[in-house]
Amino acid sequence: MNTEKDYNDDALVKQLSGFKNNYQLANGIKIHYVTGGQGEPLVLIPGWPQTWWSYRKIMPILAKKYSLIVIDLRGMGSSEKPLEGYAKKTMATDVLSLITQLGYKKVNIAGHDIGASVAFSYAANFPESTDKLILLDTPHPDENMYKLPMLPIGAKIYPWWIAFNQVNELPENLLEGRYHILQNWIFDKLLINKEAINSFDRKVFSKAYDNKEAIRSSNEWYKAFTQDILDMKTIEKITVPTIGIGSVDGVEMFKYSLPPYINDLQLKVINNSGHFIHEENPDQTAQSIIDFLN
């Protein structure tokens, strides 16, 4: 039977041989990150409603070829949860501050979900510090978000959580101590294979989000979308080599959302996957990353 200690970062990292937990003050806040492997640096950034642990399946594969820096963003997991600073450009600056202190001048950077938005912003704002960009199933917010309907269309999953997570005060009061209900719904609806995120892993993620401070801070990622869209209008086209790796639906979204902002773009479909491609098909996702970086 698992205890509370089994779900903390110290216990989790022991399940992954060769990895260790780290903390660093970056851009004025404490960031938690996990490192392991050897080779060129590769930053991995997770998304909502997860933490660094979402990459657990592909970390051992990638660590054979790359030095991994797997980051809990501000507001996520064991990283600090300030009251402000959740625009993706600011969060990308957190990443730059961290990797600079680690001694890297340039990195490959990958992100999933909210993490993909931060990775995109990093490459857009700091091209001199970016080798290659990898987006996993999610683009950066742009004006297309204003076109999202208020009602579901057909049989497609309706992304109501984008609006819900921007409501002030209500989510944390509704979900404190019950966040697993929301997470399980998200996982079950956005996975093809529901067992790809098992009961232990779901408990890890619910523990990370189950208090008011964590709910409030993670919702700030969504409340910052308006600023993110404004920031999108000021960027130059991304020139570093970029790949969008996603589910069938994710790559369809990439086809119209990414070309206006990226010069050198490849796309790769991970079949038999929903939104959480690195959970459902870790081998194919990891190999797609390796093939692109090579």
Single-letter amino acid, residue 235: I
Q: pLDDT tens for residues 22-74?
A: 999 999 999 999 999 999 999 999 999 999 999 999 999 999 999 999 999 99
Give the confidence band of 150 by pLDDT, cuts at 50, 70, 90.
Answer: confident
Single-letter amino acid, residue 202: R
For the chain, list the domains and their CATH numbers. 4-293 (3.40.50.1820)
Q: Is the pLDDT of residue 137 over 70?
A: yes
Q: Is the pLDDT of residue 147 over 90?
A: no
Q: Is the pLDDT of residue 201 over 70?
A: yes
The tokens for 86 are: 């959740």
Question: Does an H or E element contain 92, and which?
Answer: helix 88-101
Contact between 74 and 29 (Cβ < 8 Å): yes
Note the pLDDT of residue 152. Answer: 77
Listing DSSP states for 184-220 in one string gives HHHHHHH-SSGGGS-HHHHHHHHHHH-SHHHHHHHHH
Give the confidence band of 215 by pLDDT, cuts at 50, 70, 90.
Answer: very high
pTM, two decimals, is 0.97
Average pLDDT over residues 254-268: 97
* Residue 166 to residues 14, 120, 160, 207, 293, Cα–Cα distance (Å): 36, 21, 10, 21, 36
Q: Is the pLDDT of residue 155 over 70?
A: no
* Core vs surface per residue 222-242: b (16+ CB within 10 A) or e: bebbeebbebbeebeebebbb
Average pLDDT over residues 223-243: 97
Give the confidence band of 237 by pLDDT, cuts at 50, 70, 90.
Answer: very high
Contact between 228 and 138 (Cβ < 8 Å): no
Report the DSSP pairing between strands 29-37 and 66-71: antiparallel
Average pLDDT over residues 100-104: 98
The values of phi and psi at residue 132, to 5°, are -140, 155
* Residue 119 to residues 124, 134, 147, 204, 259, Cα–Cα distance (Å): 9, 8, 24, 24, 16
What SS3 state is found at 165? coil
Q: Is the pLDDT of residue 7 over 80?
A: yes
Q: Is the pLDDT of residue 154 over 80?
A: no
The tokens for 287 are: 């190999």
Q: pLDDT tens for residues 167-194?
A: 999 999 999 999 999 999 999 999 999 9
Q: What percentage of the chain carries pLDDT values higher than 90? A: 93
Dist CA 184 CA 197 (whole Å): 10
